[in-house]
Homo-oligomer: A and B are copies of this chain.
């Protein structure tokens, strides 16, 4: 969808929003803020994507200015989608009240949103949290980034599906093979989850192994960042408690006792709502920042 390019997509988003305002019998002048999350690294100071790998045509595209052509009186703010979800988690999710938190989204890719002292931490180029390409196994499978054994190439949805399919095609899992054939020769990560709930040994092993890879990377990040909580979200979190317990086990084995003493590792309770809640709070934070800057300017 994002591949249609910014003009088409932002146009569609803005017209959907106009419809919503119309349906609610509201005025767009009462729309004080818009918060937007996009799947790529964002230069937050100008609200543009910088070299996004999966969004051709979006590089440095002026998202804020485009949206403001539709809503000229509205304050618009843009951030990376996983950052926005992390913000949602500390406002209304499992991370309420946690100062330092890592939100990990595991789906087609793997990314993290970092909360530092209750705020989004973006890093020096806006690409902090890009944990999908941290090395897990130097001799592991080739990743689309060109390196070998990246976390994403071992534990994201497609990797989980592929390892399961290989085992199924080697005759090790009639259950997975049935899912594969029923779907029209496609096996998805969610099929692996379903097979595991039916007790399929291959599915259980692939999930356990994937949790271990994720946990190995998180163990290093726990030693470095010493967060109070890690929240796991994204489609792969539907694989269930075996994934979570496997992640926890790896982290506990490799992290330092002091860093794990109070550490909680949990699944997101609010799912994709994290993005919506985060975007609302991003927009509100932005308005309050603008207002307080204006008050200071008046006071001077």
Interface residues of A (CB under 8 A from B): 41, 50-51, 99-100, 112, 114, 116-117, 121-131, 133-135, 145, 147, 216-217, 219-221, 223-228, 253-254, 256-259, 261-263
Contacts and interface: CB of A to CB of B under 8 A. Distances in A.
B221 A256 contact: no
A232 to B, nearest CB: 16
A246 to B, nearest CB: 16
Nearest to A40: B258
Contacts of A100: 123-124
Contact of A128 (B121, B145, B224): B224
Given A123-B226, A135-B220, 10 more contacts: A50-B258, A51-B257, A116-B117, A124-B226, A128-B224, A130-B224, A130-B259, A131-B224, A135-B216, A220-B221
Contacts of A227: 123-124
Contacts of A263: 124
Contacts of A134: 219-220, 223-224
Contacts of A226: 122-130
A237 to B, nearest CB: 20
Contacts of A51: 257-258
Contacts of A225: 114, 123, 128, 224-225
Nearest to A128: B226
Contacts of A220: 131, 134-135, 217, 220-221
A215 to B, nearest CB: 11
A224 B112 contact: yes
A257 to B, nearest CB: 7
A124 B262 contact: yes
Nearest to A122: B226
A224 B129 contact: yes
A121 B257 CA distance: 19
A282 B262 CA distance: 27
B228 A124 contact: yes
A256 B130 contact: yes
Contacts of A130: 223-224, 226, 256, 259
Contacts of A128: 224-226
B217 A258 contact: no
Q: What 6 A-B pairs come out closest when comparing CB atoms? A: A123-B226, A124-B228, A128-B226, A134-B220, A127-B258, A130-B223
A263 B124 CA distance: 9
Nearest to A255: B133
B223 A224 contact: no
A135 B254 contact: yes
Nearest to A253: B147
30 contacts: A41-B258, A51-B258, A99-B124, A100-B123, A100-B124, A112-B224, A123-B225, A123-B227, A124-B227, A124-B263, A125-B226, A125-B258, A126-B226, A127-B226, A129-B224, A129-B226, A130-B223, A130-B256, A130-B259, A131-B224, A133-B223, A133-B254, A133-B256, A134-B219, A135-B216, A217-B220, A220-B220, A220-B221, A221-B224, A224-B224
